Amino acid sequence: MTCWRRTIRDRLETPRQPRFFTDEQWQTLCALVDCIVPQPSDRAPVPTAALLDARLYSGRTDGYRRAHMPEQDEAWRRGIAALDSEAQSAQGVWFHQLERPRQLELLRRLQAGELKHAAWGDMPSQEFFEQRVLRDLAAAYYSHPTSWSEIGWGGPASPRGYVRMDFDRRDPWEASEARPGREMQSLKENADVH
């Protein structure tokens, strides 16, 4: 099996149960994901939280970190705990137990760097939002084949690679798009696609 096929298979078969996060942290992470990357109800959801959990469990990192931020795994553990502490201080419940408007308000304050609970330690809350929440959740979401279909990306290049990289050109094995008024032309062009 080729490397890219194995990667796609692994993403499709990502375990849906947490291995890096505790059950309590997992609930907060799932609520956070639902706020940051809401998904349509007419298709199976992208397992964004599970993809992030798998990445952290495997120890894969960005290969760098900002000097004032902890390592990626520590940043996530601390950030999740701090979100729960902020929710407990403000409302007396965990982040995942807050109603959506209250969750969004807490995240707005997180983005603005207004959250200062002692649980953040020396990690700036705004940096956690920008460098971990937005970056890691978007990367996890768009690493999944369902998201690729959503944005119209065909996935990794096949072993033969891409041949025609020019604007509005297609490789010989790609089908021609049937645009309005060009349906018959596209049908004729697609007869030769292998």
Q: Which two tokens stand for residue 175?
A: 């089908």
Per-residue confidence in pLDDT tens, the chain, 194 aa: 567 788 888 889 999 999 999 999 999 999 999 999 999 999 899 999 999 999 999 998 888 888 889 999 999 999 999 999 999 999 999 999 999 999 999 999 999 999 999 999 999 999 999 999 999 999 999 999 999 888 888 777 665 566 666 666 776 667 777 788 888 888 887 776 65
CA distance 21 to 34: 17
Among 81, 29, 34, smallest CA distance to 55 is for: 29
Q: Is residue 66 within 8 Å of residue 124, measured between CB atoms?
A: no
State residue 156's pLDDT score: 74
Residue partners of 22: CB distance under 8 A and separation at least 6: none
Among 156, 183, 158, smallest CA distance to 173 is for: 158
Q: Is residue 96 within 8 Å of residue 27, measured between CB atoms?
A: yes
Q: Is residue 78 within 8 Å of residue 119, measured between CB atoms?
A: yes
Q: Quick one: angle between helices 23-36 and 72-91, nearest 10? A: 80
One-letter amino acid at 101 equals P
State residue 160's pLDDT score: 57
State residue 163's pLDDT score: 64
Residue partners of 169: CB distance under 8 A and separation at least 6: none
Among 74, 170, 135, smallest CA distance to 143 is for: 135
Q: Is residue 154 within 8 Å of residue 148, measured between CB atoms?
A: yes
Residue partners of 70: CB distance under 8 A and separation at least 6: 78, 123
State residue 6's pLDDT score: 85
State residue 134's pLDDT score: 97
Q: Which two tokens stand for residue 56?
A: 């952290």
